[in-house]
Amino acid sequence: MEIKILGMGCPKCKRLEQLAREAVEEAGVEATILHVTKMDEIMAYPIVSTPGLVINEVLKSSGGCRARRRSSPGSRRDKDNSWLPSSQEGQGQV
């Protein structure tokens, strides 16, 4: 799987990259994560604002990052990893 973070390097872009790396690790899938900072490369996607999240050349989100949420007060923080394929679906893809 290939994941691209589209953005010039603002705090939201950096945060999205961090969340993507954490989500990939927690899901147990193999992925290459690239941070695309060149404007001409970013504009190759149908993106209106950054940061953008591209998975296997499909734009999944733009203009922000998914927030972490708590399952219940005092519990370990949990993320919405629904955009990631399961570890079995990601087998053999890098």
Catalytic residue annotation: 10, 13
Radius of gyration of the chain (CA): 14
Element (H, E) at 36: strand 32-36
Distances (CA, A) of 54 to 4, 8, 73, 79: 5, 15, 32, 18
